[in-house]
Amino acid sequence: MQITVSVNGESYVRDVEPRLLLTHFLRDELRLTGTHWGCDTSNCGACVVRLDGVPVKSCTVLAAMADGAEVTTVEGLAHGRTEADLDPVQEGFMVCHGLQCGFCTPGMMMTSRALLDRDPDPSAETIREAISGQICRCTGYENIVRSVQWAAAKEAAAREAADTESSEAMA
């Protein structure tokens, strides 16, 4: 069957098998290998992407279900290729050592970005609840939680600076 899907802002038209999983479509067809394929049973969360803004485990979504949708992968978080272009979540994971082996990291980042988009100042408990559907076998989650808190603080500071600049411009 033919599908049309927007991935990280770029439109793709492809013929796919009706049973093809979104994770395999992203990795094998589009060569976006940041989405990791871990368990194929929706237990690990390494394959989380955003489908029309909602985090989903792409190992449980058929590529055909993404027809006409917007998919964002971890590659779509950054706004360019330099460190300065990183999404605050990516930067937080780097600064606060929110990863060790890195296998779960793309899914953790996608879930964290979705959390911060709906709750810009989450508590540690809220962060833990948001990532509870994902498994990290290396970190113990402490640095992951700190990474998300760091990103939230960076975004809050940026909003405050923008508000101050706007207020000064109006005066």
What pLDDT is stored for residue 140 in this prediction?
Answer: 83
What pLDDT is stored for residue 101 in this prediction?
Answer: 86
**One domain for residues 29 and 94:** no
Mean pLDDT value across the chain: 91
**One domain for residues 26 and 69:** yes
Geometric angle at alpha carbon 150, from 148 and 152, rounded to 5°: 70
Residue 167 has pLDDT above 80, yes or no: no
What is the distance between the alpha carbons of residues 38 and 41, in angstroms, rounded to a whole number?
9
pLDDT band at 105; cut points 50, 70, 90: very high
Q: What percent of the chain is modeled with pLDDT above 70? A: 96
What pLDDT is stored for residue 162 in this prediction?
Answer: 82
User: Torsion angle of alpha carbons 136, 32, 58, 122, nearest 10°?
Assistant: 50
Using DSSP's 3-state secondary structure scheme, residue 52 falls into coil
Residues in the chain: 171
CATH number at residue 132: 1.10.150.120
**One domain for residues 88 and 126:** yes
Last residue in a domain, options 76, 102, 123: 76
Last residue in a domain, options 56, 76, 96: 76
pLDDT digits 0-9 by tens, 76-90: 998 876 667 899 999
Q: Number of structural domains, the chain?
A: 2
Global pTM reads 0.88
The separation between the first and the last C-alpha atoms of the chain, rounded to the nearest angstrom, is 58
What's the domain range around 10? 2-76
What is the distance between the alpha carbons of residues 127 and 116, in angstroms, rounded to a whole number?
9
**One domain for residues 111 and 70:** no
pLDDT digits 0-9 by tens, 11-50: 999 999 999 999 999 999 999 999 988 876 788 888 999 9
**Measured CA distances, 20 to 15, 52, 61, 128 (Å):** 10, 19, 9, 31
pLDDT, mean of residues 144-157:
96
